[in-house]
Amino acid sequence: MLSYDRKEKENVMSIIMEKDAAHKIIDRMPPNATWDDLMREVYVRQAVERGLANSKAGRTKDVKEVRAKYGLPE
């Protein structure tokens, strides 16, 4: 029987969840979807999940700070 420490178990669960999420993305796509369509969906999902994780961890910036950095009006 294989034995995993907690971190390894979390990594294995993450992989399983990602496969499940990938299947759900594919199942929602139209029959004429392309590889590019799939890649875009996966990229967007990954970017959203990363952003949510950063937000939850407190790694955010104030809107005013970002606007000032890029010279955008307030």
DSSP states along 2-46? ----HHHHHHHHHHHHHHHHHHHHHHHS-TT--HHHHHHHHHHHH
pLDDT of residue 10: 59
Residue 31 lies in a domain: no
Residue 12 lies in a domain: no
The band of 60, judged by pLDDT with boundaries at 50, 70 and 90, is: very high
**Both tokens assigned to 21:** 């999420």
Q: What does the pLDDT look like over 10-47, one tens digit per residue?
A: 565 566 668 888 899 999 999 999 999 999 998 898 88
How many domains in the chain? Answer: 1
User: Which residues have a Cβ under 8 Å from the Cβ of 68 and sit 6 or more positions away?
Assistant: none
Say if pTM beats, i.e. exceeds, 0.75: no
Domain that holds residue 61: 36-74
CB 29 within 8 A of CB 41: yes
Residue 45 lies in a domain: yes
Residue 62 lies in a domain: yes
Q: Which residue has the higher pLDDT, 4 or 67?
A: 67
Residue 3 lies in a domain: no
Residue 6 lies in a domain: no
